Structure 1
Amino acid sequence: MTLNTEYQEKFQNRHIAPNETDTAQMLKTIGVGSIDELIDQTVPAKIRLKQPLNLPAALSEFDYLNNLKQTASKNKVFKSYIGQGYYDVIVPGVIQRNILENPGWYTQYTPYQAEIAQGRLQALLNFQTMVLDLTGMEIANASLLDEGTAAAEAMFMQYSLRKNTKADTFFVSEELFPQTIDILKTRSEPYGIKLVIGDHRTVELNDSMFGAIVQYPAGHGEVYNYADFATAGHTHGIKLTVVADLMSLVLLTPPGEWGADIVVGTSQRFGVPMGFGGPHAAFFATKEEYKRSMPGRIIGVTIDSAGNYALRMALQTREQHIRRDKATSNICTAQALLAIMAGMYAAYHGPKGLKLIAERIHGLTVLLSQSLAELGYEQLNSAYFDTVKFSLGDLAGPIKAESINNEMNLNHVGQDVTISIDETTSPEDIKTIVKFFARVKGKSLTDVDFDGLQAKVETVIPAELQRTSAYLTHPVFTSHHSEHEMLRYIKSLETKDLSLCHSMIALGSCTMKLNATTEMVPVTWPQFSKMHPFAPADQTGGYMQLFDELNNWLSEITGFAAMSLQPNAGAQGEYAGLMVIRAYHNDRGDHHRNIALIPSSAHGTNPASAAMAGMKIVVVKCDENGNIDVADMKARAEQYKDNLSCLMVTYPSTHGVFEESIIEICEIIHQHGGQVYMDGANMNAQVGLTSPANIGADVCHLNLHKTFCIPHGGGGPGMGPIGVAKHLVPYLPGHAVVDIDQGKSIPAVSAAPWGSASILIISHAYIAMMGGDGLKNATQYAILNANYIKTRLQHHYPVLYTGANDRCAHEMILDCRAFKNFGIEVVDIAKRLMDYGFHAPTVSFPVAGTVMVEPTESEPKHELDRFCDAMISIRHEIDDVEKGLSDKIDNPLKNAPHTVSVVTGNDWEHPYTRQKAAFPLPYVAAYKFWPSVGRVNDTYGDRTLICSCPPLTDYEFEESEVTTPEFGT
């Protein structure tokens, strides 16, 4: 044996699953001699990159983590008393290890297939119940992106609900957090909504106003009684949104009890790390009468095919992918994983535990206020929960210097300072603050009767604002307070959900790929997780280095000049990109350019985002092959040349094809004065082979939760940064608190300056460990795996669209519409796949009655074969129905999925065997995943909408209610 000093394990060999033998067999099946030959047949030569990606050499997992530790050390983690919507927290270990760090929770998909998502649906229903109880409202959603965008969604909902269509003014309390005001400015401008920013105590409300928004407690800490303000607004038809601190509502009167119409905020301080800004789950609660206008996902109670308790996403008909440009929101990604954590935090502590935490926070704040008052400092808040405000005058500078010397960050605003206390603060921390405040005045701690003050702390919350109503009374919040009980509860829900831990999730357009452990580990390092997004710049060197590197790498991959990392979801990226295009046109005096051309095959978020950006949508036809109709594109571009703003295009197309005419299409738009916005949903088929800039795009958003390995988290978090060409760089989003202005920046689109900063580490790790060659290989193997599946399935299911050489890109559409002729719907195939241990591919998008399949590069051949075998077996089951060998109604597809209680029950009256139902192929028996409920009844659930945890003893159904269920998709 000789010592091999050159060996270094390649991460790409861990990420890309097919080995050499698998690759050779798949190429033979497809009928090509090499991957290069396949790529030449798939990707048009004229769009191919001429040079390889100029990225640093790939690092091993070991070396990457060592390097990142050096980067992380450049972040100085001081005690944070900045507040402003972000607070240090204690993450219960049982939640951190078993949810946040557990791939059984973070690798799930959005719960569109409810039967194999009952665990996270229950966890999200817990979150909704928690929000409803604490806010005093009637209906809540299962999270939004952040507090600022939730406030903006509330403003637009109020605008869309206004009865006086001439009302165009929105009152904004000047004591909202500045980042929230910034986002309201962004979102109001395209609609011509006028913002009046002022003091709620002195503003003159009038009939031109459709809504108002206030903060509770206010931005600088004061707790106001808004009851009279709410009443006065209602007399003018003004609906009131309240941005509330969820922890404070344990002690404060809920907004729903004094007149709020909408309550929004963040659940970050319920056990979710600051993470330099995110991800955090925002909440949105309102009155039930507004349920069809409420943005985001709502989890509702229904029944399954056996009449048992079940859950699913409710009221889907109001969502953007159905309503498109008529949608009230473009929200697609939620923050499901973080909402689940927040709900579990409430369940773990329960109402008594939360009250103790809130009282401790409030008590320490009172202690600080009274101690500093004894030193002669003027405290400006009369009623407060966790934040005190002091006027410092000439002492502002020395106080700031002393706080930094003590490694503490306060919130300095001119000559004032606010100090926000959180659950990690101790009496010793309060002593430290008092000591340096004393030192500045030439005094010491002995000048304060600290122990005496601590012994007699009493609340300063006025009696009329103290909470008296009960909250979190459901057993889920009173039953799991020991770690053993909580662990078992979490695991009981986890086992009900199918995730990437179990099998391939072959979702077209959603790219469910490996989320490697090494990519995930640093997210919870304290140097990253405990950073406040408004920490001083000289403390954030590690994050700045990481952002700079990621910006450069993503710019190289896309071919663009620069990125904005701020958008914290794909739809946010779409919106940000369109607002940048809007700003560019306006800056050139082309205010009239407001037409967006959008192909009929586009994602549902595209027209919704364009409408939100104040654009008028003109639909461009697709030809019989699914490609953009170039002739129609030319005609539309010529017709609207004077007002053309942009084209929104997905590439490869939503149909899974590299369209040959894409460069010509981009040139047509540019010739008529427009910009090209490329939807980056299908970037997994581009990286290293081509790029948005190479094709001719001006803007592109990247779904980091797709191509760049951030987990989907059961429905979120996502990230949607945008890349732009050089001429658009000056307009990239800025921020009201942290100076990231590019010269002519649009206001913020997300609450934190770099969006959900802590999970950017995941994409940084992926790129660093893959290197340029690895990223290109990943793309090539994604295309190889897709064409292998296509070859195996095309004789059983027609493939709807292919490229010039009969190849698909990274995904394909299988046409199932003909099966409807003998009673089989595409939803039946989706549900039957659960019996085979698989999550269904994307159903009925972009074409109704089809499934869109995307395997990604992370799946090995044997898993692809397992999926293909399942699909072929299901095709044979369909054949049996067509031939009359199976009953058209009582067959394995119509009754799917089959639960263990059904299969093992005493009664079995179906004409097929129990084995056929539960173990249709030999491999299923070796590793069976049992759906926890039968097919859910969507229609019943929407008819009897229940969006909080019902007492199970009260939740019984009459037989007449369940004998003829109506099932939807």
Structure 2
Amino acid sequence: MKLNIDYQEKFQARHIAPNETDTAKMLKTVGAASLDELIGQTVPQKIRLKNPLNLPAAKSEFDYLNTLKQTASKNKVFKSYIGQGYYDVIVPGVIQRNILENPGWYTQYTPYQAEIAQGRLQALLNFQTMVLDLTGMEIANASLLDEGTAAAEAMFMQYSLRKNTKANTFFVSEEVFPQTIDILKTRSQPYGIELVIGDHRTVELTDEMFGAIVQYPAKDGQVYNYADFAAAAHAKNIKLTVVADLMSLVLLTPPGEWGADIVVGTSQRFGVPMGFGGPHAAFFATKEEYKRSMPGRIIGVTIDSAGNYALRMALQTREQHIRRDKATSNICTAQALLAIMAGMYGVYHGPQGLTLIAQRIHGLAILLAKALGELGYEQLNSSYFDTVKFELGVLAGPIHSEALNNEMNLHYNGSTASITLDETTSPEDIKTIIRFFAKVKGKTLNDVNFDELKASLETVIPAELQRQSEFLSHKIFNSHHSEHEMLRYIKSLEAKDLSLCHSMIALGSCTMKLNATTEMIPVTWPELGKMHPFAPADQTGGYMQIFDELNKWLSEITGFAAMSLQPNAGAQGEYAGLMVIRAYHLDRGDDHRNIALIPSSAHGTNPASAAMAGMKIVVVKCDENGNIDVADLKAKAEQYKNELSCLMVTYPSTHGVFEESIIEVCEIIHANGGQVYMDGANMNAQVGLTSPATIGADVCHLNLHKTFCIPHGGGGPGMGPIGVAKHLVPYLPGHAVVNIDQGKSIPAVSAAPWGSASILIISHAYIAMMGGEGLTNATKYAILNANYIKTRLEQHYPVLYTGTQGRCAHEMILDCRAFKNFGIEVTDIAKRLMDYGFHAPTVSFPVAGTVMVEPTESEPKHELDRFCDAMIAIRNEIEEVENGTLDKTDNPLKNAPHTAAVITGNEWSHPYSRQKAAFPLPYVADYKFWPSVGRVNDTYGDRTLICSCPPLTEYEFEESEVTTPEYGT
């Protein structure tokens, strides 16, 4: 036996599912002699890369984790008292292990298919209920990206609601966190909104103001009574946004009780690690009358086809995929997984537990203030929750040095320092702080009567600002406080959700690929998870190395000069890229360039992002083959050549085709003075074969939660870094707190300088373990898997668009419109797929009445075959409806999905068998996933909008109230 000691397992063999035998069978099916021949028939030769990707050699999983551990150790995890919107937390182990680290929770897609997402929807409804109770508002959404962007959304909502349409001034309290003010500057510029930054106690409110924003507690910890300010604002028709700390609202009077119109903030300190800036779920709460103007996803209560309690995403007509540039909601700006964690933190602790935690934080802050006062330090806050601020004078330097000697970071501003405490702070930590403050004055801890101070603690919050109202009174928040109860509750919800743990989720344009365990493991390492985003630079060496490597690797993959890792969602990447283009034009004196050409096939986020960047949208036609109509593009580019800002193009196209005219398209735009923005949603078909720079783009965003393996998290987290050509590098986003300015940087687009930094590790791991060859092979197999499905299904469903040689890229559109002739809608196909154990592909996008299928490279042949078998069986059922074998209104498609309760019920009145309903193919019986509710009633849910947890005993329906769902696109 000859032994090979040089063997090292390749990660790509784990990530790319088809083996050699299956590859040969699939190639035979599609009619290609080799994988390279198929790629040659799919990707135009003139855009192919001439050289392989120049990336480091692929590491094994074992070696990568060892290497990353060494890199992460360069981060110095000091005790953080910086505050400023970020706090250390204690993540309950039952939540960390069973949600954050559980693929049954983090691999799901956005809950568009509500019947197989009831667990996640309930968890998000819990989050909304918690936010409503704590803020005292009437309606809340299911999360936004971070506190800063939530504040910007609030400003824009106030702007859209203004009664005086000439009012364009927005008051910003100078005590709002600086990173939030930075984002407000970014969002206000395209609309010409003037920011007035000042003191809320002295500002003169005018008729030109449409809104105002304050922080509660303020950035340095002071708790103000804003009631008079709110009344004065309302007297001038000025709406008030309050940026509130969710933990403080356990003890403070809710803003909804003293005049807030909108309350925003972050739920980070509800059990979500700092992670050097994210991901964290923001919240947004407002009045019911503004529900159709509110940004973000809203979870609402409705009923299913049997009249039972069910949940769904409500008011979807507000969203960008329907209203496009007129959208008030962008479904891509959510952080579902983190909102679920925060909501579960509330469930786990309940109102009593949260009160004890908040009282402890507040009490320790008072203890520290009194102790340092006894040492002679001047405390500057008269009323505070968790942050004390001291005037240090000439002692600022020595205090700073002593804090570092004790591995503690305080927040410094000139001669003052503020100290923000959190739930991880202990009385021993307080003693440590007292010791070094005492040392600087030549004193000791013995000079403070610590025990006496501890025994006499009383709140410093004024009586009128102390919370009197109840919160979290619903049974859900008062039933799961032992770990066993909590574990069973989490698992009971998980069981209602279909995820990648169960089957492939073949969503066109959404790229639901493997999120490998090795990629996920480092996210919760303390060296990465416990880092404050504003920690001193000399403590962040590990993160800086990771960012530098990722920047270089992504630049090599895209062909661009540099990346910004700040945007923390794909849609935010779009916006950031367009703002960079805008800054470039303005810097050149071309302030008149504000036209964005957008093909009619574009993602819904494209026109919405362009509108946010202050651009006017001109739609470019597509030809009968689904490609950009080059003649129409050229005509419009020339028509608007003096005003042309950019073209937004998705490549390969949203129709799943490598358009051969793409280089010509880019040249036309450049010839007319515009820039080319490439939407990177379909980058999984490009990596290693072509690149945005090769086709002629100037900027693109990358959906790291698609091509680069960050999990979708049930509708967030995501990351949307942008890459830019050399001439756009100076304009990449900067930051108000951490200096990352490129020279002419636009202000920040995200609250943290590197966005959701902790999940960048996932993409770093993926690239490092795949290497250039592995990444290129992943792209090739994504194209093979798609063409295999196309070949198997095209005799049953027309494939709407293909390339010149009859190939699709990594996805294809199956045309289902003809089935309407005998009463079958594309929605019926989507719901029937649930009975076969699958989540539907993308429905009615980009073409109404179709499904768009994308398998990714991570799915094995047998899973592709299961999906194809299901689709073919459904097509046969449609044929049975067409020929009259099945009733046109009472058939498996119209009644799908079929729940266990329906199948096992005493009555069965349908003209088809229970077997056909629940077990339509043999493989389904082997592993059945049961939808937990019947088809949800969207119409009822919007007509009777309920967006918090209702007592189930009060949630009963009269039979006459149960209506037939109305489904559209």
Structure-1-length-normalised TM-score: 1.00
Question: Per-residue deviation at 1:331?
Answer: 4.9
Contact 1:704 1:763 in 2 (8 A): yes
Q: Read off the aligned partner of 1:664 and give its amino acid letter.
A: E
Q: Which residue of 1 aligns with 2:906?
A: 906
Three-state SS of the structure 2 residue aligned to 1:711 is coil
Q: Read off the aligned partner of 1:382 and give its amino acid letter.
A: S
Q: Which residue of 2 aligns with 1:930?
A: 930
Question: Per-residue deviation at 1:963?
Answer: 5.3
Q: Which residue of 2 aligns with 1:388?
A: 388
Question: Per-residue deviation at 1:52?
Answer: 0.2
Q: Which residue of 1 aligns with 2:708?
A: 708
Q: Read off the aligned partner of 2:352 and give its amino acid letter.
A: K
Q: Read off the aligned partner of 2:531 and give its amino acid letter.
A: M
Matches of 2:909 and 2:12 in 1, distance apart?
51
Q: Read off the aligned partner of 1:17 and give its amino acid letter.
A: A
Matches of 1:246 and 1:213 in 2, distance apart?
16
Question: Per-residue deviation at 1:5?
Answer: 1.6
Q: Which residue of 2 aligns with 1:772?
A: 772
Q: Which residue of 2 aligns with 1:135?
A: 135
1:162 aligns with 2:162: yes
CA offsets 1:445-494 (integer angstroms, 9 cap, x no match): 11111111011111000000000000000000000000000000000000
Q: Which residue of 1 aligns with 2:718?
A: 718
Contact 1:730 1:744 in 2 (8 A): yes
Contact 1:936 1:967 in 2 (8 A): no
Contact 1:211 1:239 in 2 (8 A): yes
Q: Describe the shift of the 1:184–1:69 C-alpha distance in structure 2 as closer, same or farther (beyond 3 A).
A: same
Contact 1:566 1:749 in 2 (8 A): yes
Question: Per-residue deviation at 1:964?
Answer: 3.9
Q: Which residue of 2 aligns with 1:435?
A: 435
Matches of 2:940 and 2:616 in 1, distance apart?
37
**1:548-567 counterparts in 2 under 5 A?**
548-567=548-567
Matches of 2:967 and 2:482 in 1, distance apart?
40
Matches of 1:396 and 1:669 in 2, distance apart?
56
Aligned residues between the structures: 969
Contact 2:297 2:329 in 1 (8 A): no
Q: Read off the aligned partner of 1:485 and give its amino acid letter.
A: E
Q: Read off the aligned partner of 2:398 and give its amino acid letter.
A: P
Q: Which residue of 2 aligns with 1:639?
A: 639
**1:546-945 counterparts in 2 under 5 A?**
546-945=546-945
Matches of 1:332 and 1:513 in 2, distance apart?
18
Q: Which residue of 2 aligns with 1:476?
A: 476
Matches of 1:330 and 1:609 in 2, distance apart?
9
Contact 1:939 1:968 in 2 (8 A): no
Matches of 2:713 and 2:215 in 1, distance apart?
30
Contact 1:937 1:968 in 2 (8 A): no
1:3 aligns with 2:27: no
Question: Per-residue deviation at 1:444?
Answer: 1.0
Question: Per-residue deviation at 1:327?
Answer: 1.6
Matches of 1:3 and 1:35 in 2, distance apart?
31
Contact 1:575 1:609 in 2 (8 A): yes
Matches of 1:698 and 1:871 in 2, distance apart?
40
Q: Which residue of 2 aligns with 1:363?
A: 363
Matches of 2:333 and 2:356 in 1, distance apart?
34
Question: Per-residue deviation at 1:2?
Answer: 3.1
Q: Which residue of 2 aligns with 1:424?
A: 424
Matches of 1:942 and 1:616 in 2, distance apart?
31
**Which range moves more in the overlay, 315-324 or 917-926?**
315-324
Contact 2:940 2:963 in 1 (8 A): no
Three-state SS of the structure 1 residue aligned to 2:895 is coil
CA offsets 1:643-699 (integer angstroms, 9 cap, x no match): 110000000000000000000000000011100000000000000000000010000
CA offsets 1:327-371 (integer angstroms, 9 cap, x no match): 235452410000000000000000000000000000000000000
Matches of 1:137 and 1:736 in 2, distance apart?
31
Question: Any gaps of 5 or more consecutive residues in structure 1?
Answer: none
Matches of 1:730 and 1:418 in 2, distance apart?
34
Matches of 1:129 and 1:731 in 2, distance apart?
40
Q: Read off the aligned partner of 1:952 and give its amino acid letter.
A: L
Matches of 2:124 and 2:717 in 1, distance apart?
14
Q: Which residue of 2 aligns with 1:67?
A: 67
Contact 2:595 2:616 in 1 (8 A): yes
Matches of 1:588 and 1:170 in 2, distance apart?
28
Three-state SS of the structure 1 residue aligned to 2:770 is helix
Question: Any gaps of 5 or more consecutive residues in structure 2?
Answer: none
Q: Which residue of 2 aligns with 1:342?
A: 342
CA offsets 1:387-432 (integer angstroms, 9 cap, x no match): 0111111111111111000000000111111100000000000000
CA offsets 1:804-841 (integer angstroms, 9 cap, x no match): 10000000000000000000000000000000000000
Three-state SS of the structure 2 residue aligned to 1:9 is coil
Matches of 1:968 and 1:476 in 2, distance apart?
34
Three-state SS of the structure 2 residue aligned to 1:894 is helix
Three-state SS of the structure 2 residue aligned to 1:289 is helix
1:321 aligns with 2:321: yes
Matches of 1:203 and 1:453 in 2, distance apart?
39
Q: Which residue of 2 aligns with 1:408?
A: 408
Q: Which residue of 2 aligns with 1:189?
A: 189
**1:185-584 counterparts in 2 under 5 A?**
185-584=185-584
Contact 1:329 1:608 in 2 (8 A): no
CA offsets 1:217-246 (integer angstroms, 9 cap, x no match): 000000000000000000000000000000
Contact 1:118 1:310 in 2 (8 A): yes
Three-state SS of the structure 1 residue aligned to 2:660 is coil
CA offsets 1:106-155 (integer angstroms, 9 cap, x no match): 00000000000000000000000000000000000000000000000000
1:77 aligns with 2:77: yes
CA offsets 1:929-956 (integer angstroms, 9 cap, x no match): 0000000000000000000000000000
Question: Per-residue deviation at 1:966?
Answer: 3.6
Q: Read off the aligned partner of 2:267 and give its amino acid letter.
A: S
Q: Read off the aligned partner of 2:356 and give its amino acid letter.
A: L
Matches of 1:822 and 1:892 in 2, distance apart?
14
Question: Per-residue deviation at 1:3?
Answer: 3.0
Contact 2:305 2:935 in 1 (8 A): yes
Contact 1:277 1:752 in 2 (8 A): yes
Matches of 2:74 and 2:479 in 1, distance apart?
43
Three-state SS of the structure 1 residue aligned to 2:591 is coil
Three-state SS of the structure 2 residue aligned to 1:502 is coil
Q: Read off the aligned partner of 2:724 and give its amino acid letter.
A: V
Q: Which residue of 1 aligns with 2:48?
A: 48
Q: Read off the aligned partner of 2:494 and give its amino acid letter.
A: E
Greater than 3 Å deviation, 4+ residue runs: 963-969
Matches of 2:419 and 2:140 in 1, distance apart?
31
Q: Which residue of 2 aligns with 1:23?
A: 23
Three-state SS of the structure 2 residue aligned to 1:417 is strand
Q: Read off the aligned partner of 2:942 and give its amino acid letter.
A: D
Contact 1:940 1:966 in 2 (8 A): no
Matches of 2:212 and 2:264 in 1, distance apart?
13
CA RMSD of aligned residues (A): 0.6
Matches of 1:48 and 1:844 in 2, distance apart?
31
Contact 2:333 2:572 in 1 (8 A): no
Contact 2:827 2:967 in 1 (8 A): no
Contact 1:523 1:761 in 2 (8 A): yes
Question: Per-residue deviation at 1:320?
Answer: 1.3
Three-state SS of the structure 1 residue aligned to 2:762 is helix
Q: Describe the shift of the 1:331–1:390 C-alpha distance in structure 2 as closer, same or farther (beyond 3 A).
A: farther
Structure-2-length-normalised TM-score: 1.00
Q: Describe the shift of the 1:141–1:791 C-alpha distance in structure 2 as closer, same or farther (beyond 3 A).
A: same
Three-state SS of the structure 1 residue aligned to 2:299 is strand
